[in-house]
Amino acid sequence: MQSTIHGERLEDSEYERLLSRALSKVPDLAAQSVDFAIPKVDSINEGTKTIVNNIMAIADKARRKPEEIARFLSKELGVPISVEGQRLIVNGRFNAKDLDAKILNYFNTYVICKECHKPDSHLESAGRGMLYFVCEACGARYAVKNY
């Protein structure tokens, strides 16, 4: 006799309970999917420059090098940017809100998988101004524009 489990609709709360129980067995995964939050940019304006104080925290979260994020921001903002120690030196005056929007774009395009929405990913060179986004969680692989 076939089990009736496939014919039954699990109540949403039951589903969530089972899901959270399943996730609790893999704490690392649970931590990443539940607690993943993009750090807010901590920046100050100094003369004609903008200093980002927490680029290391942002880069760690993205699992990218600070230089990679600097390269993206530099292209987006149209100004030179350098990494100095733990900080990013942006050659222009920008407010934290504008920088947050750029960082959000970066995560959405280059860090978070568009298939499974998980951030466990890396980029591979694809030539011709393109990159491959490779998701380590679900195996998705797709082309994105290089920056």
Interaction site with Zn ion (CB under 5 A): 113, 115-116, 135, 137-138, 140
Q: Give the residue from 119, 124, 113, 140 showing the smallest Cα distance to 38.
A: 119
CB 73 within 8 A of CB 50: no
- Shortest Cβ 89–Zn ion spacing (Å): 34
- Shortest Cβ 112–Zn ion spacing (Å): 9
Whole-number Å distance between alpha carbons of 135 and 142: 9
Q: In terms of CB distance, is 41 or 135 closer to Zn ion? A: 135
Q: In terms of CB distance, is 40 or 141 closer to Zn ion? A: 141
- Shortest Cβ 144–Zn ion spacing (Å): 13
Whole-number Å distance between alpha carbons of 127 and 23: 38
Q: In terms of CB distance, is 51 or 137 closer to Zn ion? A: 137
- Shortest Cβ 127–Zn ion spacing (Å): 23
Whole-number Å distance between alpha carbons of 145 and 101: 18
Q: In terms of CB distance, is 94 or 110 closer to Zn ion? A: 110
CB 120 within 8 A of CB 136: yes
